[in-house]
Amino acid sequence: MKIAIASDHGGFEYKEQLIPFLLGLGYEVTDMGCYSSDSIDYSDYAFPLAQAVAEGKVEKGIVICGTGIGVSICANKVKGVRCALCTDPLMAKLTREHNDSNVLALGGRIIGIELAKEIASVWLSTPFSNDARHIRRIDKISEYEK
């Protein structure tokens, strides 16, 4: 699976640690920035990542900022993106099963790196349930986006 990862300065350290972790799990990872801990605007990196997911250039994306809130708001502005901010593995599992989320948001100043790795691993390995009730709800989101 081809995934993209991006962060602002608040998520830079986690991004740098998640990339080799994800590569070790067998994922193809595209680093979409940022490339240092210098202060930048999260929107400059979250929007391009979300657009790459929406356009099918990558299957899924991970965005990281200090809280995960800013990047998740940005990602969810892009039509076709369902970004979920997760703080534990159960949230990651359920957002994949129920919402078919295609972007994961993490807070680099909220959770520890080992928990971030576990959340990302669960999120990436959990399939969508394809239950009719979940499909119906996702279809309503898609209709609203039109």
pLDDT tens per residue, range 68-80: 999 999 999 999 9
Asked if 134 is an active-site residue, the reply is no
Catalytic residue from among 9, 34, 65, 86: 65
Q: What's the domain count of the chain? A: 1
Q: Could you tell me the pTM of the whole model?
A: 0.98
Asked if 65 is an active-site residue, the reply is yes
Domain range for residue 69? 2-145
CATH of the domain at 95: 3.40.1400.10
Q: 117: Cβ–Cβ under 8 A, 6 or more apart, which residues?
A: 17, 18, 21
pLDDT tens per residue, range 108-146: 999 999 999 999 999 999 999 999 999 999 999 999 999
